Structure 1
């Protein structure tokens, strides 16, 4: 599933193509379950709306429209967005498309049909915002904020990093990478981390996410940016999906385990488990 770096990359790649454009109308919808509100209401509300900003909240792509509306798009497992000529919407896995005033289309290709497109009013946008924790790259996300979020938490730190209510945008890939960089074992209870561990993890989260954005995200399967380009962060993984390969720090073979029902990769030598 695309995580913060991938969604941020998509937002940046779409900005030059969509900012200031007007949505002419709903061009295609063959999977109604992906859409809120239902198609007739959605089509009536978006037609003629100008795209005033493109941004991100957690793993949601946000297109701010005039009139107080926001188009919130979640790519889920296999979705990707592309601005293309109208004929591109005829591809077999394109389930949603919007006509734009320059003759092009914003198309949503989603092979597994898990993606979602929600048209939100201001109240709906506020609810989406409130459902997520702080943005880990924001200035206000400090080690102290992270410590407060983890205080008294007995769940494994890996599971806590995946909880969007605690911290926004981190998924399985970058949780693995951040814990490796911070030298913290993924099964360590979150509330048992000492101040030095919190500082190291805070730094690692920001470094890992910033590096991934600089490399346009990780293209393991379907992920592409708004121009259809692959990211390259997968070429820089230290432990994710590297079971049996040598740890870049100590050369100990990387091990795989399951934490929070997700594949988890750890160096048993240099990632220390603390607490019970």
Structure 2
């Protein structure tokens, strides 16, 4: 899933290739999930973008936006597998040599844009999993962050560096009793930190991901604060290109290097193990990340090691639908009908999973695709 660093990469390319240009042609394909779930339709999006000039782009964590010459503006997030492709530009954050990835327009596009330049620029928002969201926010460009969904999310550790201070972090951690990894992943606390960034931050801070947030010492919180800004700023400085990440980073070794069926290890020989925290797989270096306080559960360091040849795979996050939630509160007499509806929902999920994932079929390189 694109995290703060990957989203910063696409904002960079929007500014480089689209800002300052007028959209001569916009096409949007209706999707009652990608658009409809956030109160927008493809037709409304197309009308709002057509003929307007793109004047800016910005980011708050995993959300990003394109500001137009007049409201409304487009505010988006990529979900698990969405992305914005710009024709003939190296925007991708994964490597794929599949010929289909070079086709234009690309598969599973939600909108297509063309600029009015003599040498036109073409862009496409794609998402085969349909977990991304595209909405219109009708407000002055400078007020976007004061509106839903951005106002419900926590500060961005890069854009809001002056807010995310050691004191702010200490107050946040002491006010909650949750595993520290889960706290970092909760976008209501801090925007943009996802699974790999959370693991990298905790590794550099030498903090075990299962330890409760309110048990960390003052010194540990200071280390965590330093690690947050170090990992975020370093990954953004190289536009999330993992080949340019420091060699000692956990990221460079967590995806599985070495002999088949052998534990993943760092260059210094430290073993990387894996456990589940808050429903997400976490990479941990037990020799570095010690438990110094109460944890969510005991962790057997030898039990959950993942073979070194394991590969990172994107997987959809299955959430309870509105219809399933309603069924849960119905009386038992509705049990048969409820079961049928849940079965239908699962069937839809299975059909969605059968669709080819062009992105995930490529070898993970994090942020760059050779063109």
TM (normalized to structure 1)?
A: 0.86
Aligned residue for 2:280? 262
Preserved contact between residue 26 and residue 97 of structure 1 (Cα < 8 Å) = yes
Q: Say yes or no: does 1:213 pair with 2:213.
A: no
1:7-44 per-residue CA deviation (whole Å, 9 max, x = no partner) reads: 01110122011111122343241545322511222222
Aligned residue for 2:29? 29
Map 1:229-240; keep pairs closer than 5 Å.
233=245, 237-238=249-250, 240=254
Deviates more, 1:196-205 or 1:41-50: 41-50
CA RMSD between the two structures: 2.4
Preserved contact between residue 212 and residue 218 of structure 1 (Cα < 8 Å) = yes
TM (normalized to structure 2)?
A: 0.65
Q: What is the DSSP-based 3-state SS (H/G/I as helix, E as strand, rest coil) of the residue aligned with 2:84?
A: strand
Deviates more, 1:119-128 or 1:199-208: 119-128
Aligned residue for 2:123? 106
For structure 2, which runs of at least 5 residues remain unmatched after alignment? 89-101, 257-261, 295-371
Among residues 119, 125, 133, which one is paired with 1:116 in the alignment?
Answer: 133
Q: CA deviation at 1:191?
A: 1.1
Preserved contact between residue 271 and residue 285 of structure 2 (Cα < 8 Å) = yes
Q: Separation in 1 of the partners of 2:228 and 2:20? A: 33
Q: What is the DSSP-based 3-state SS (H/G/I as helix, E as strand, rest coil) of the residue aligned with 1:34?
A: coil
Q: Separation in 1 of the partners of 2:255 and 2:87? A: 33
Deviates more, 1:155-164 or 1:186-195: 186-195
Deviates more, 1:75-84 or 1:12-21: 75-84
Aligned residue for 2:71? 68
Number of aligned residues: 263
Q: CA deviation at 1:127?
A: 2.2
Q: CA deviation at 1:73?
A: 1.8
Q: CA deviation at 1:148?
A: 1.3
Aligned residue for 2:86? 83
| Compared CA separation, residues 94 and 60, structure 1 to 2 (3 A) | same
Aligned residue for 2:164? 141
The structure having more radius of gyration, on CA atoms, is 2
Preserved contact between residue 52 and residue 64 of structure 1 (Cα < 8 Å) = yes
Q: Separation in 2 of the partners of 1:11 and 1:58? A: 11
Q: Separation in 1 of the partners of 2:108 and 2:42? A: 18
| Compared CA separation, residues 152 and 256, structure 1 to 2 (3 A) | same
| Compared CA separation, residues 15 and 88, structure 1 to 2 (3 A) | farther
1:50-81 per-residue CA deviation (whole Å, 9 max, x = no partner) reads: 21111111101211112232211211222221
Preserved contact between residue 106 and residue 124 of structure 2 (Cα < 8 Å) = no
Q: Separation in 2 of the partners of 1:128 and 1:119? A: 11
Q: CA deviation at 1:232?
A: 5.1
1:93-117 per-residue CA deviation (whole Å, 9 max, x = no partner) reads: 3232123222332201223232221
